[in-house]
Amino acid sequence: MFKRLLLDHHYQRPVDRCGDIAQVSLFIGVLCSVILSISRRAADLIMGLLFLVLQLAFTPAAGGEMTILQQNTLKQIPTNITSALSRFNLHPRTTVYATCPSCSCLHKPVFKPGSSAAEYPSHCTNKPKPWLPICNQRLLQPSSNSPIKPYVYHHFHDFVASLLSRSEIDAIIDEPCDRLMGSLDRPAPLNSKDIWDGEFLRTFQGPLPQTLFIDRKGESRLVFSLNVDFFNVEGVRVRGETTSCGVISCACLNLPLDIRYKPENMFLAGIVPGPNEPPGDQLNHFLEPLIDDMVASWERGISFSHTALHPSGRVIRSAIACVVCDLPAARKAAQMSAARSYFYCSVCNCCDLKTLGRTDFHSERWNLRDKATLRQQAEEYKNAESVQQQEALFAKYGIRWSPLWKLPYWDPARQLVVDAMHCILEGLTGFHVRNVLRLTSVAADSPETLPPAFEHPFSAPVSTDSQPLTENEINQIKGIYCLLTSSVKNLDAEDGCHRQRIEDHITWLTKRLTAKTIRALKFVAIDLHCKPIHGDRIVEGGRILKVYWVNTLIQWVRLSELVTLVSSQSCSGEQNLGLLVCNPLNLEHKKSSSIYVPSLELLTPLLG
């Protein structure tokens, strides 16, 4: 029933058979290579030097032969680091898949009997979709017959075996299960300190019917959290991200918090090769080997021949309790629609981006999404017979097939967690401070900009057949709108120079407007029902110069909504923001613009 694994390689290392001096020499080389991270060439040099030192030390000063023991010691010391590493059995058991560069399908290596060289098919034999032809993309490099795009998968069971080969881990791995099992008859602790105190594991159904997962019945039960994330291999550079690789990793939640996240205790399943993120549902291929191992572990149980404290072996079943990713990677791993799409939530039934701000969390819409329905929708997607059908299903339900559905217990609404670090600490607080409160260094350095003096419902510039507009012209029209509503600086300073300030503003405005193109000016003027003006009269026919359009726009500003009294000091969100002085005669003329009540004391010097 159980899948049985032989694990002798975790307990027997060739180095144990070496002599003392050889052991220490090998250890120095391996230490430099693994822990001090020196390059292979440098490590080869160190091994060579060690060999030389020993040889010189062993050679008798008076001449003559070395003893047999000394000769043996020298024989045991390899001169390159690769064979030194192999004596420590450091390499984990991995499979190097050949990834198809076009469809990301994984191809398993085949080993011929008696040969250790991996062989791959030369071309991709996968049908990406049932209705598409075979991909037939080249998989191997022409010169070396090695895969163009290898994907190294570290066997999950091998990781568990290496974890349990350490006696201190083997001793405590069952502790949280037993503790929780013992406290099940009592109510949940009020003060939960770890995932084991939460509600999820208390009610998580196990592989055997009608039993909880933590009810281990002599086996061992391991709980993992899975993470998929994409990162830039070259580090964060000034010019931004250039490459993106994925990393699939797991953390064993059975370990106590202080050692759970040490690098040696975390499982790195593989690195999704770059240079770009796999598009669409291609990430599925990379998750599949891990999920297959997880399914085997859940359904059959893995019988380990040997662990540190159980020389006669033990049976282990593992489960993924939660999938912890940032929002984009979570949607990619679970193959649900993106966060900015119509189905923006993977947890509840809320949809339609317009309702993003809803907080009526007691209404029915906020109920968790149903696991059985989601599974059915994902399977419908998988079994669709044409690309149109698949796309229609995705548009309808917002979900694709993901290998996570192979796990019988997978429930995205409860297990695909919203990561608090990305969502709250990076997302919301950053958003609140930078975008809402605008506390950024850029905002602090930039000159204070005045808010618009008043609002006017300008019509949006749209290019039509009768009136084609270029992109540049559309931008210019928007710029003119801003200019027309701009405020006068320092108008509430009490030095009696109000008229002068307004005239200065008009001069500045004229200059800025003249810099715009005639077509943009004409569009705005016609939109505001203004006719071109030359001197005092309206120009009806003949050649119309740019300056006539500028004149009429200045007139519009001057007459209708004269100028504002917003000073640079009082513009920070005050309610009298955009306080406007109107020419009372023109109030009727501009009914549509929003008019604020003029403040009398400020009006007096202007009108007087």
Partner 1 sequence: MITVYIPLALISLWGDGTAHKSNNLSVQLRQVLDHTMALVQAVHITCARSMTIKRAVAYRSFIGIWVSELKIHHPSVDHRPNCHMSIHIYEFLLSFGPVRSWWCFPFEHLIGQLQHLPTNNKFGVCRLYILCEIILNTSQRPIGIYDSHLLCPSCQAQGLVGLGQLPSSNQRVSSPLRESLCNQR
Residues 109-168 within binding reach of partner 1 (CB under 8 A): 147-150, 152, 154, 159, 162, 165-168
Give yes or no for residue 69 binding partner 1 (CB under 8 A). Answer: no
Q: The tokens of 367 are what?
A: 């109920």
Residue with tokens 């020993």: 54
Q: Counting contacts by CB under 8 A, is residue 292 touching partner 1? A: no
Buried-exposed string 407-427: b where 16+ CB fall within 10 A, e elsewhere: bebbbbbbbbbbbeebeeeeb
Does 293 participate in binding partner 1 (rule CB under 8 A)? Answer: no
Q: Decide if residue 227 touches partner 1 (CB under 8 A).
A: yes
Out of 54, 74, 295, 418, which residue is the one contacting partner 1 (CB under 8 A)?
A: 418
Short-list 599, 596, 608, CA closest to 453: 596
Q: What six digits make up the tokens of 501? A: 């300030």
**Per-residue exposure over 159-189, b if at least 16 CB sit within 10 Å of its own CB, e if not:** bbbbbbbbeebbeebbebbeebbeeeeeeee
Residue 384 CB, shortest distance to partner 1, in Å, is: 27
389's CB contacts (< 8 A; 6+ apart) are: none
Judged by CB under 8 A, the residue of 48, 198, 207, 479 near partner 1 is 198
CB of 35 to partner 1, least distance (A): 6
Closest CB to partner 1 among residues 329, 509? 329
Which one of residues 25, 73, 225, 337 is an interface residue with partner 1 (CB under 8 A)? 225
Contact characters 572-591, partner 1, x per CB under 8 A: xxxxx---------------
Helix (H), strand (E) at residue 319: strand 314-325
Contact between 348 and partner 1 by CB under 8 A: the answer reads yes
* Contacting residue, 51, 58, 88, 458, with partner 1 by CB under 8 A: 88
Among 134, 172, 420, 443, binds partner 1 (CB under 8 A): 420
Options 221, 400, 422, 505; binder of partner 1; rule CB under 8 A: 422
- Which of 35-43, 111-119, 125-133, 555-563 is the region at the interface with partner 1 (rule: CB under 8 A)? 35-43
Choose which of 122, 261, 460, 504 interacts with partner 1 (CB under 8 A): 261
In the bound state with partner 1, the residue whose beta carbon lies nearer, of 412 and 532, is: 412
Q: Does 23 bind partner 1 (CB under 8 A)?
A: yes
Could you give the CA distance from residue 121 to residue 130 in angstroms, rounded to a whole number?
20
199 binds partner 1 (CB under 8 A): yes
What x/- string results for residues 307 through 346 when contact with partner 1 is judged by CB under 8 A?
Answer: --------------xx-xxxx-----------xx---xx-
- In DSSP terms, 399 is beta-bridged to 336
| Residue 96 interacts with partner 1 (CB under 8 A): yes or no | yes
Q: How many residues sit in the footprint of partner 1 (CB under 8 A)?
A: 117
Distance of alpha carbon 473 from alpha carbon 468, whole angstroms: 10
Span of 10-18, 210-218, 372-380, 583-591 interacting with partner 1 by CB under 8 A? 10-18
> How many C-beta atoms surround the C-beta of residue 24 within 10 A?
11
| Per CB under 8 A, 358 contacts partner 1 | yes
Tell me which of 132, 392, 425, 482 binds partner 1, using CB under 8 A.
425
> For residues 82 and 507, which CB has a smaller minimum distance to partner 1 in the complex?
82
Applying CB under 8 A, does 448 fall inside the site for partner 1? Answer: no
- C-alpha distances (whole Å) from 141 to each of 98, 144, 326, 379 are 11, 6, 35, 36
Sequence-separated (6 or more) residues with CB below 8 Å from residue 455: 485, 578, 593, 594
Q: What is the DSSP string of 525-577?
A: HHHTT---EETTEE--SS---HHHHHHHHHHHHHHTEEEE---SSTTSS-TTT
